[in-house]
Chain A
């Protein structure tokens, strides 16, 4: 079975990325420049700049002479490679592996095409994913790395599928410049009067090897659909991290949030590609010159939603005071979990779910994750140890417009008898010692509760609660419900063998 490959070409990727991060640059003449041979030279130019004659390799001075309004920005090849890798990780939803083709493309393993409506469906979905991330893309599926890339970069169609065995015919119409791997061969072929790959393909191999050597023969193999290269899967970094260096240090919240938005979009796309959801993140603000300032973010519910994360960060940063401007921001996912996603149907209220997750995450961030939760009953005889906070994971509602009408009222849960006699308020620990007054018969007459001496109106009990006799700290308590004047019933106990009373709870 032949390997099938998708190539995603993101034309002028560094420029596209720059415009995505700064939408104000859209439709502006822009050149990304780097220092080569002692001069600042254009590495990439925007479409507007290219129309006015600006080309890659041109010095910035020459480009400015052609186009005085040209805006320039530094080009960092390593950062662009990292950004391209981040974009590629987003495609992992559709592919088991990818290989980068710097500076503006990525090969994807198309072996999972059948899961996405066949090869055409896969191409469509990859294209849609790129567009959703804000990139213009050209997507081609073929059997060889060269065929897919050459057609994506030089072909007429923005989306194409080349059937197995059809590479030679598909490549025939492409110009010779599609043979980017062999520029010397291209120059020689041009000198011979050839202009398309099809013309190279029909030549006799003996003629090719005699005139162009082994390099020419290899080039002919490529255009005949005989590319021996195989996709080498890129190794994913263990830690999902996004770094963004700001053009100018940010002194207020707005530019910081603006930069964060694009960074979170990339981070979320990577997480979704890996089918993971963030549980804990750290936003490190690198201050100039103070150094890194980490801001931890704990999420009550795992999420990949960039809007939600941006809201949380905004809320968190409002309470953070910084002593210096922010030069760089680093977003690191400290903990993630598997993201199963949720199938939405007509009538669902995604806004409601988002609202719940937002408020939970906001509270967890502001109060600390231990401040909120859902109570869980613990298997302990001591009343004060019989419950503990647990994670708040409410049951998901049945999706759909008519779910409410379909549902049946939940059956009442069985309640053990002992729970019927428990107060709704329990004082911390083992309760508070209570000053009591007994009458001549040893009966309770009054007690000082909540700062007042109160007459005892009625006493019911006792209920003996004991346990832990198998440990070194056994306990045995006799509990009474004591009705006090001006109050309600109180839960009072006396330890076995002791005369002192303790107020442990209130039946509020």
Chain B
């Protein structure tokens, strides 16, 4: 019988075990890209999202919206009950902001290596394990520059494991991502996204995404001007420092309705008329 024959041949068993291991380690075909959930961005990307099995480089200034874009893709992985990891080079990741992007904190592993030379190694280990659908490697404000062999190893690891590496690089030191997006601020209303490098087309295409789209339900500053405060600007002498106090403070009885302090900002009112003396 066939099972008996297979039992008798350890080589066949070993081949079958190897095949099972390969199948188990292979990426799920159901998930081939991680969408950001932002229609303009997903339309810009060649596969309709960040492709799994590749290194996607988000290159730009540290306040250009790259991190939120990356975490929107990670949120998609979490919705599919997959795990994600974030190698936090600058140690500035503020996790209370992540649930609003759809990230599930219990499915997110944050790695903060004590030495910067361990950043790329940590990301490589996480990718090679195949246990994480997306791995973020944040090199912003670090002295790490990926060498060509390191970049090649990361690309190979992503390709073999089927995981997505989101590589956040500073504007002065781009790396070697398979898909490179330049992210920058386009004023107070929007961020700009440009496909700098892509093997699947869309290169040189640029879009602008309103800031408020990045955080669903978040605040919009589109209407804010250079004085977009909750109280109108108050005329003050040039020496007065920046003053913006809440309305409740303005009307607490100690100061005037416009924040003026009797005797200092304005002359004290004269008591002469009420006392019946000459002005």
Binding site for B on A (CB under 8 A): 349-352, 355-356, 358-360, 362-363, 366-368, 371-377, 383, 386-387, 389, 392-395, 397, 404, 407, 409-410, 412-413, 415, 419-428, 436, 438, 440-445, 450, 456-462, 464, 478, 480-481, 483-484, 486-490, 494, 499, 501, 505-508
Contacts and interface: CB of A to CB of B under 8 A. Distances in A.
Given A374-B106, A374-B110, A355 B25 contact: yes
Interface in B140-194: 140, 184-185, 187-188, 191
B114 to A, nearest CB: 6
B24 A415 contact: no
A351 B61 contact: no
A146 B132 CA distance: 57
A395 B106 contact: yes
Contact of A508 (B68, B106, B217): B68
B112 A371 contact: yes
Given A352-B130, A397-B81, A489-B221, A392 B109 contact: yes
B62 A508 contact: yes
A424 to B, nearest CB: 5
Nearest to B25: A351
Given A478-B244, A507-B65, A387 B129 contact: no
A425 B67 contact: yes
B230 A461 contact: yes
27 contacts: A351-B25, A359-B126, A359-B129, A372-B110, A374-B110, A410-B104, A421-B218, A422-B96, A423-B94, A425-B63, A441-B233, A441-B235, A442-B234, A442-B243, A443-B227, A443-B233, A450-B62, A458-B224, A458-B226, A459-B227, A460-B219, A478-B246, A483-B221, A488-B63, A505-B94, A506-B62, A507-B65
Given A355-B131, A363-B122, A442 B241 contact: yes
B228 interface: yes
A236 to B, nearest CB: 35
Interface in B232-275: 233-236, 238, 240-244, 246
A369 to B, nearest CB: 12
A233 B95 CA distance: 53
A424 B97 contact: yes
Contacts of A371: 111-114
Interface residues of B, number: 80
A374 B24 contact: no
A398 to B, nearest CB: 9
A230 B49 CA distance: 71
B215 interface: yes
Interface string B55-85: 0000001111111100100000001010100
B21 interface: yes
B93 interface: yes
B107 interface: yes
Interface of B: 21, 24-25, 28, 30, 61-68, 71, 79, 81, 83, 90-102, 104-114, 118, 121-122, 125-126, 128-131, 140, 184-185, 187-188, 191, 211, 215, 217-219, 221, 224-230, 233-236, 238, 240-244, 246
B226 A377 contact: no
Nearest to A449: B63
A331 to B, nearest CB: 24
A387 B93 CA distance: 10
Nearest to B122: A363
Nearest to A443: B227
B114 A424 contact: no
A457 B226 contact: yes
Give the residue among A404, A409, A422, A505 with the most B Cβ atoms within 10 A.
A422
B246 A464 contact: yes
Contact of A413 (B64, B99, B230): B99
Contacts of A501: 242
A397 B80 CA distance: 11
Contacts of A464: 246
B219 A426 contact: no
A424 B68 contact: yes
Q: What are the 5 A-B residue pairs with the smallest beta carbon separation, nearest first?
A: A375-B95, A499-B241, A488-B63, A359-B129, A426-B94
Contacts of B234: 441-442
Contacts of B67: 424-425, 508
A356 B68 contact: no
Contacts of B106: 374, 393-395
A395 B191 contact: no
Contacts of A426: 92-94
B61 A488 contact: yes
A459 B94 contact: no
A20 B225 CA distance: 78
Given A374-B110, A462-B229, A428 B97 contact: no
